[in-house]
Structure 1
Amino acid sequence: MNPNITLRQLRAFLAVTEHGSFTKAAAVLNITQSALTTAVKNLETEVGLRLFDRTTRQVEPTAYGRQFATLARRFTEDLERGMDDLRAHVDRQQGLVVVGATATMITSVLVPALKEMSERFPGIRVRIIEVLTAEAIEHVRRGDMDMAFTTVALPDADFDAVPVMRDVFDLVCPPSHRLADEDGPLSWDVFRTYPTIGMSGESGLRGILMGHEAGQAAAAQLAYEVSSVWGLTRMVRESLGIAAVPSLIAQEMATEGIRRIRLSPPVYRTVSLITRSGRSPTPAAATLVAAALSRLRDLECDGIEIPVTDAQLAERGFALD
């Protein structure tokens, strides 16, 4: 469409077409008849065609005018629908958010957050992708995800990261294990004494443990490796060994009767919210982050810290209300 054609001109033209009168069209649009006449004349100048046949008794569109009316009506209706959709997104009545997270963040944080969010904003759709920590960065980089909750340190200047949770590693063991009656804290050296189960090398948890001198005891010489927390939980429950996992995971495992014991010295995992730098989050994404943060604060306890503040998130465009 000619960039010099305005929405005001199109509405003026369509009003005259519908009512067959400049006087009636001006009244409907609540503008003066001279302003309406000027808008139509300017439109005819821009398209280079006469759009109306005018007589003293009536105004009728020309053949070109009737053809143009079809295009103008379609354009204005599409624009109005688009604006309605945009307002719905702004009002958080609808929208799609794609977020990546590990299995435990999904089950312990995102699923409860979605339950709460769906009651207030049923039009917001969320696609959750379970990914290993290392994969999350590339998904966000390619634009496959709006954001990710991950333990990867900030990779480069293309990304922004804000720590949203820090939890300490606990020892977990089956209730029948000889360590189960210990109050703790226990030394990391116990992992050199008993068969140990750990996450595979692709897991961010394995990397965290290997990055600490004390934690290496629970990651260097493994009897069993597994790629999922679900698998690790099953193996611990079946008394195949002990493991070191962050408190958020240990809490969930404790619901199945698995014993958790504090370790010394403490080794921490930090989970950060990763987004692309310079990209403002959508209202729907901000709503999901607010719900997730609310859930994280419900989980805060000895061993789980929530260091992020509302002000820090607001600086990144996540206005929480």
Structure 2
Amino acid sequence: MAHNVNIKQLRALLTVAQTGSFVAAAHRLCVTPSALTATIQQLEAGLRVRLFDRTTRRVTLTAHATGFLAEAERLVNGLDSAVSDMLALAQGERGHIRIGAAASVISQFLVPVLQQFRRQYPHITISLRNPAAQETERLVAEGEVDFAIDSRYQDNDELTYTPLMTDTYGVVCHCDTPIAALKRPVRWSDLTWGRYVGFNADTAIGHFLRLHMPSFAPFNEDHDEVESTSYLFDVLASGDYYAVLPALSFQRNSNKALRWKELQEPTLTREICVMSRPLRALAPSAQLLLDLLQDTLQSQPMPPGVKRAPPASAEPGKPGRRAARA
């Protein structure tokens, strides 16, 4: 009849065993001695054994109770530990967060935020992924990550997109090139000098540019292609090439000879969003991280070409233009 035994009764057993007195145990449990006696009697009835030998001076465990005590202590301590862990999780003090993010977001914003987050919540662990552009939205929709920070790729109807910032496209070139020497804003029509290096169509930047600038001549001509900015900056360092890149992605460049200049006529921007599932609330730990990220974004300066999303537009699910990923 194990279903007649409850945690209150087991806790009463342990407390009486520890104090050797019903009066002292009742005081520790904040109940009356008669209420404690009734609880022990209920436990004895459920177990169908006598648990204590009572004398006028001392209460001692019976042989049955002595053998049962270790198991009772394990059960009570296990429940206490589980409840403590659940409360800590609910308060964001423990847990595991799975994040997907664009490489440019990771290096520029997430790395410093995660360092601060780990200092505040050392018992929360984090998995950080940099998936391919086509994979990001799928990972969020299928629950393989808690959320992602990236630009839209397919506008998945199953996801909520909360804007964080907008990122402007520009031309990247060597400081000695004619484009870098222009004293006015750079137009797309100026991109006739040098050799164009593009991103292949499987990348988000390549996909975005082909979608929004189909008349851009280099797309229809032979040109070099790369699949990541890691290779791109090495190619551009020779001075004979140029590329089109979002401002945030250019922040990963360490070559001081390269320049980024905003492109106009037309101006193209991508929207960096938090992607989440609308019907599932984020875990408290994940929400704490997002809150810290948003607070940090509001207080730190943005790189040239990057702007914070206005507070009024930061509403889950608000539609926005399709954008690219670095």
Same fold (TM over 0.5): yes
Q: Which TM class, normalised by the smaller chain length?
A: 0.7 to 0.9
Deviates more, 1:281-290 or 1:56-65: 56-65
Q: 1:307 aligns with which of 306, 309, 325?
A: 309
SS at match of 1:273: strand
Gaps of 5+ in 1: 316-321
Q: Give the corresponding residue for 2:44.
A: 44
Quote the Cα distance in structure 1 between the aligned partners of 2:7 and 2:215: 65
Quote the Cα distance in structure 2 between the aligned partners of 1:162 and 1:74: 46
Alpha carbons of structure 1 residues 314 and 162: separation in structure 2 relative to 1, 3 Å: closer
Q: Give the corresponding residue for 2:292.
A: 291
Q: Give the corresponding residue for 2:282.
A: 281
Quote the Cα distance in structure 2 between the aligned partners of 1:60 and 1:17: 7
Shift of residue 198, structure 1, vs aligned partner: 1.9
Alpha carbons of structure 1 residues 55 and 234: separation in structure 2 relative to 1, 3 Å: same
Deviation sequence 1:96-115 (CA, Å, 0-9, x none): 32211121111111112223
Q: Give the corresponding residue for 2:268.
A: 267
Quote the Cα distance in structure 1 between the aligned partners of 2:134 and 2:199: 13
Quote the Cα distance in structure 2 between the aligned partners of 1:267 and 1:314: 23
Shift of residue 179, structure 1, vs aligned partner: 1.5
SS at match of 1:211: helix
SS at match of 1:164: strand
- Whether the aligned pair in 1 keeps the contact of 2:44 and 2:51 (CA below 8 Å) is no
TM-score normalised by the chain length of structure 1: 0.84
Aligned residues: 313
1:290 alignment partner AA = D
Q: Give the corresponding residue for 1:318.
A: none
Identical columns (%): 25
Deviates more, 1:82-91 or 1:132-141: 82-91
Quote the Cα distance in structure 1 between the aligned partners of 2:72 and 2:273: 49
Gaps of 5+ in 2: 318-326
Matches within 5 A, 1:62-211: 62-152=62-152, 153-157=154-158, 159-191=159-191, 194-211=194-211
Quote the Cα distance in structure 2 between the aligned partners of 1:66 and 1:279: 47
Shift of residue 209, structure 1, vs aligned partner: 1.3
1:99 alignment partner AA = I
Report the RMSD for the aligned CA atoms in angstroms: 3.0
Quote the Cα distance in structure 2 between the aligned partners of 1:294 and 1:217: 42
Q: Give the corresponding residue for 1:233.
A: 233
Quote the Cα distance in structure 1 between the aligned partners of 2:174 and 2:121: 41
Quote the Cα distance in structure 1 between the aligned partners of 2:257 and 2:115: 26
Deviation sequence 1:118-139 (CA, Å, 0-9, x none): 4434443332212222122233
2:51 alignment partner AA = F
Q: Point out which structure has higher relative CO (alpha carbons under 8 A, 6+ apart).
A: 2
1:279 alignment partner AA = R
